[in-house]
Amino acid sequence: MKELIEYIAKSLASKPEDVKVTEEIEDGRVILRLEVADEDKGKIIGRQGRVAQAMRVLLRVASVKNGTRAILEIV
C-alpha cells in the first residue's frame, strides 16, 4: 500500500525526490503519512480535493484486499 501511494505521488509531483511516505500501525489500522514539497501540495490535493480523495479510494480498495484498514494523511 505504501508503494502505491508513493508511486502515485511521485507521478504527480514536479519534485518527486521530495516525496516521502511513512507507515505506522495504530489500533489495528495502517496510517500512511504523505509528505511532499510545498509547491506540490496543490497538485497532490487537486481541485476541491478530488485527487486526494481518489488516492484514498484506491488505498481503501488495496487495504480491503489485504484485510486491513488504512488511512492517508497528507502532511
Can you list the domains of the chain with their CATH numbers? 2-74 (3.30.300.20)
> Is residue 2 very low, low, confident or very high in pLDDT (cuts 50, 70, 90)?
very high
> What is the separation of C-alpha 41 from the centre of its chain, rounded to a whole number of angstroms?
12
All three cell numbers of 24? 505506522
pLDDT per position as a tens digit, 5-52: 999 999 999 999 999 999 999 998 999 999 999 999 999 999 999 999
pTM, 2 dp: 0.89
Predicted confidence at residue 18, as pLDDT, reads: 96
The DSSP code for 67 is T
CB 13 within 8 A of CB 6: no
> What is the separation of C-alpha 25 from the centre of its chain, rounded to a whole number of angstroms?
15
Q: What one-letter code names the amino acid at 32?
A: L
